[in-house]
A and B are shown apart, each in its own frame.
Chain A
């Protein structure tokens, strides 16, 4: 059974740096196709995808937040860490880490194999609330 749990401060001040840790079980981040991502939810319930890191250390960041985000993994500890700099009150919300599956599909194009990838989020953590306020 796959489970993920987020941990970190519940409150930070504007301009401070937020560090969140995702501790997971039921899978390994050294297994091909496996990734862990971060998604946040505003108080108004809108969802925003932030970043994902895969088993091979491939990372994909939301362009609008890329300059403020860093994601790392520690496979031996079954943890993923998200760092977000220069926090602002608009960053207030619930932060989720989530197991992400990346698959490949091979199709033949004029006799030549072509590999495409697809991903989807399949298991979410319980979420951790973060408030940004002075």
Chain B
């Protein structure tokens, strides 16, 4: 199975400041078709996960442009340019290149 390792696991942030979550894969997630099969989700407290970024860098519908996904091969980053109070929750990366689809452990983002 492809293992996704996120860091940090806990991230205290200051509103208005940038924040970054890393996701490292045990195998390259770059498909021969040129797409990166890596996606990001945010699970706000008490809610189900919601899609933020798909195929490495594409923002899902309605996602603010302060969220940006980047990376290639095995190292990926989700960056929030200016954190807002509503951004707190658990952030997960997920790969759909290989069965079984797998998730990172999650990164808890909270306000300092």
Contact of A120 among B49, B54, B92, B106 (CB under 8 A): B54
Chain A residue at smallest Cβ distance from B49: A124
B74 within 8 A of A: no
- Give the total of B residues in contact with A, Cβ under 8 Å: 26
Most buried by B among A63, A116, A118, A120: A120
A58 to chain B, nearest CB (A): 12
Contact (Cβ within 8 A) A47 B49 = yes
Residues of chain A with a CB closer than 8 A to B54's CB: 120, 122
Name the distance in Å between A23's Cβ and chain B's nearest Cβ.
15
A76 at interface (Cβ–Cβ under 8 A)?
no
Q: Which residue of B31, B48, B100, B105 contacts A49 across the interface (Cβ within 8 Å)?
A: B100
Q: Is A32 an interface residue (CB 8 A)?
A: no
- A contact residues around B37 at 8 Å (CB): 118, 120
Which residues from 21 to 67 on chain B have a C-beta closer than 8 Å to any C-beta of chain A?
A: 31-35, 37, 39, 41, 48-51, 54-55, 60
Say whether B103 contacts A120, CB under 8 Å: no
Residues of A within 8 A of B60 (CB): 122
Instruction: Say whether A105 contacts B55, CB under 8 Å.
Output: no
- Bitwise, A82-124 to B at CB < 8 A (1) or not (0) is 0000000000000010000000010100000000101111111
B33 CB to closest chain A CB (Å) equals 4
A74 at the interface (CB under 8 A from B): no
CA distance A47 to B33 in the complex (A): 27
Q: How far is the CB of B45 from the nearest CB of chain A, in Å? A: 11
Residues of chain B contacted by A105 (CB below 8 angstroms): 33, 35
Binary B-proximity of A119-132 (CB < 8 A = 1, otherwise 0): 11111111100000
Q: Please state if A118 and B96 are interface contacts (CB–CB under 8 Å).
A: yes
21 A/B residue pairs, CB under 8 Å, sorted by A:
A47-B49, A48-B103, A49-B100, A49-B101, A49-B103, A62-B99, A62-B100, A64-B100, A105-B33, A105-B35, A116-B31, A116-B33, A116-B35, A118-B33, A120-B94, A120-B96, A121-B51, A121-B94, A122-B60, A124-B48, A126-B48
Residues of A within 8 A of B (CB): 45-49, 60, 62-64, 96, 105, 107, 116, 118-127
